[in-house]
Structure 1
Amino acid sequence: MYTHDDLARLQAQSLKMQGWIRRQTFSPANEKTLRRFSSWEVAELIFRINQSTFRGKLAADPNLPLGEVEEDGRQRWFSLEEVNELRRRIRVGKKSLMPPRPAGKRAFRAAIANFKGGAGKSTVALHFAHAAALDGYRVLVVDFDPQATLSHSMGLNDVGEDHTVWGIMARDLERETDRMNTASAGAETGTALPHRKLPASIRDMGLGTLRPADFIKPTAWPTIDIVPSCANAAFVEFASAQYRHLNPEWTFFGAVSRFLDSLADDAYDLILFDCPPAIGYQSMNAVFAADMLYIPSGPGYWEYDSTTSFIGQLA
């Protein structure tokens, strides 16, 4: 029979193997980096213009980013920063290459969620983020899933639970409790409003003083940021139940929405949520904060059955 020592040893062996794989696939500095894009990719796939038109624009303005040239001089390679600079400065047929964005609107929020595990939620979120970044949009991804697949795919492996969605919810509990306690001293009937007290174990974490930017981390993509997750964030479901007991008036399902509302409207163009395969405190926060719910599902009967149950639970 396996004991906790056996499981710990298995995890250590697995972590060792993961480290070896990262050393083979990441840069020499053991960091995930974004590759450069060829002039053909930039023209045909990203800007969707003729390659000869793109070459003509580069030749006409030597002040434009010219990328890195191969030794034989036959191919140029551009970083995403250079691609975005070209996007800002090049016009084709008097039209800008900048992506459309409604003026004066906050970022659009989309939650990728389903009951079903293995439906491709993290993969969909990752590819949506990459596609939006290549189209010139600024993206924030929020990893609600303790499996942290999206965070790992973005190159973040050492994440403390304080700086995950759990930290955002604990911060919100403290700030909302303080707001309620400083509200009007009595109700209209004259009945005193309850004064909620939080234990030192929560306040001593210091999460209430953190800024929104403290939870947001950069990725290998210059226009994609992330609120990461980690395995230790799995206890958010247990902690949140305790937090609700400490302050029953706390609207726990609005914690992430309030956090995102505190960001500047023009900070991002698109915010994507990768949700765990269950309805809990984290996924409820994601759905409540989202403008759109995207439900990936396979074509089989059991996938359809699970998705139907998921929609029913949401209702």
Structure 2
Amino acid sequence: YTIEQINHMRDVFGTRLRRAEDVFPPVIGVAAHKGGVYKTSVSVHLAQDLALKGLRVLLVEGNDPQGTASMYHGWVPDLHIHAEDTLLPFYLGEKDDVTYAIKPTCWPGLDIIPSCLALHRIETELMGKFDEGKLPTDPHLMLRLAIETVAHDYDVIVIDSAPNLGIGTINVVCAADVLIVPTPAELFDYTSALQFFDMLRDLLKNVDLKGFE
């Protein structure tokens, strides 16, 4: 059977998983300070597994200009995907929602918001746009706002992130209901994870989440 056929049978028998209409879909962020700890592998395989279970899943490349998750699904950064196809226009206050950036994948039930190299501009331009009064909310809450514009179409949101502690990663942390921090059993990876949790503690002390907890 194909995934489409299995999902059809789930629909016929009423066994397909769905979130309640009055419940906001859970947002799962995958983040770490260090590269090479399988963040994107975790994000991609988690999103694909949830889609296999019949859920409607949106995989978001939150701030990673490498676009590895995009390439996993056949969207090559800077070949198929350019700045206007990513979250960048929304981050910079040029779009009111992110429906323009959603792309299908070969996995039924799994869509992706891809990225490309231009997404690195959020680290240098986001605060400037905020100072100019061009953003609808605080800069660290832009990703959460982006997700809210399309959340009604999905059961679960999964966010992949870049290995840094910049404003993009802070957006991922502030947008997520659940944060997965991949930590291979290696000394440097463990030390990096401790540093990342220190950053999270300081962030949650000093950042105004505007009522979102």
Match in the other structure for 1:243: 129
> Is 1:165 aligned to 2:84, yes or no?
no
Give the match's secondary structure for 1:146.
coil
Match in the other structure for 1:152: 71
Please report how far the alpha carbon of residue 150 of structure 1 lies from its aligned counterpart in structure 2 after TM superposition: 0.3
Letter matched to residue 5 of structure 2: E
CA distance in 2, matches of 1:309, 1:281: 16
Letter matched to residue 120 of structure 2: A
Please report how far the alpha carbon of residue 213 of structure 1 lies from its aligned counterpart in structure 2 after TM superposition: 1.4
Match in the other structure for 2:139: 252
> Is 1:125 aligned to 2:43, yes or no?
yes
Match in the other structure for 2:103: 217
CA distance in 2, matches of 1:243, 1:311: 28
Tell me the matched-pair count: 196
Give the match's secondary structure for 1:99.
coil
Please report how far the alpha carbon of residue 260 of structure 1 lies from its aligned counterpart in structure 2 after TM superposition: 1.6
Given that residues 59 and 112 in structure 2 are in contact (C-alpha distance below 8 angstroms), is that contact kept between their aligned partners in structure 1?
Answer: yes
CA distance in 2, matches of 1:86, 1:134: 13
Match in the other structure for 2:11: 88
Give the match's secondary structure for 1:162.
helix
CA deviations on 1:186-217 (whole Å, 9 max, x unpaired) are xxxxxxxxxxxxxxxxxxxxx33x64311211
Given that residues 113 and 277 in structure 1 are in contact (C-alpha distance below 8 angstroms), is that contact kept between their aligned partners in structure 2?
Answer: yes
> Is 1:293 aligned to 2:165, yes or no?
no
Pick the structure with greater CA Rg: 1
**Which residue, out of 44, 54, 73, partners 1:136?**
54
Give the TM-score, by structure 1 length.
0.59
Give the match's secondary structure for 1:279.
coil
Given that residues 140 and 225 in structure 1 are in contact (C-alpha distance below 8 angstroms), is that contact kept between their aligned partners in structure 2?
Answer: yes
Give the match's secondary structure for 2:157.
strand
Q: 1:97 to 1:300 in 2, by over 3 A?
A: same
CA distance in 2, matches of 1:248, 1:151: 28
Give the match's secondary structure for 1:97.
coil
Given that residues 165 and 282 in structure 1 are in contact (C-alpha distance below 8 angstroms), is that contact kept between their aligned partners in structure 2?
Answer: no
Alignment of 1:195-210 (within 5 A): 207-208=94-95
Letter matched to residue 36 of structure 2: G
Match in the other structure for 1:113: 31
Letter matched to residue 184 of structure 2: G
Q: 1:276 to 1:264 in 2, by over 3 A?
A: closer
**Which residue, out of 141, 150, 162, partners 1:263?**
150
CA distance in 2, matches of 1:221, 1:304: 33
Q: 1:291 to 1:83 in 2, by over 3 A?
A: same
Letter matched to residue 146 of structure 1: P
Give the TM-score, by structure 2 length.
0.85
Given that residues 32 and 163 in structure 2 are in contact (C-alpha distance below 8 angstroms), is that contact kept between their aligned partners in structure 1?
Answer: yes
Given that residues 97 and 150 in structure 2 are in contact (C-alpha distance below 8 angstroms), is that contact kept between their aligned partners in structure 1?
Answer: no
Please report how far the alpha carbon of residue 254 of structure 1 lies from its aligned counterpart in structure 2 after TM superposition: 1.1
Please report how far the alpha carbon of residue 237 of structure 1 lies from its aligned counterpart in structure 2 after TM superposition: 0.7
Give the match's secondary structure for 1:133.
helix
CA deviations on 1:194-253 (whole Å, 9 max, x unpaired) are xxxxxxxxxxxxx33x64311211111121111110112122211113223323985111
Given that residues 32 and 181 in structure 2 are in contact (C-alpha distance below 8 angstroms), is that contact kept between their aligned partners in structure 1?
Answer: yes
Given that residues 81 and 114 in structure 2 are in contact (C-alpha distance below 8 angstroms), is that contact kept between their aligned partners in structure 1?
Answer: yes
Given that residues 173 and 179 in structure 2 are in contact (C-alpha distance below 8 angstroms), is that contact kept between their aligned partners in structure 1?
Answer: yes
Give unmatched runs, 5+ long, in structure 1.
1-77, 91-95, 172-206
Q: 1:248 to 1:225 in 2, by over 3 A?
A: closer
Question: RMSD of aligned C-alpha atoms?
Answer: 1.9
CA distance in 2, matches of 1:248, 1:218: 30
Given that residues 141 and 274 in structure 1 are in contact (C-alpha distance below 8 angstroms), is that contact kept between their aligned partners in structure 2?
Answer: yes
Please report how far the alpha carbon of residue 97 of structure 1 lies from its aligned counterpart in structure 2 after TM superposition: 2.9
CA deviations on 1:18-72 (whole Å, 9 max, x unpaired) are xxxxxxxxxxxxxxxxxxxxxxxxxxxxxxxxxxxxxxxxxxxxxxxxxxxxxxx
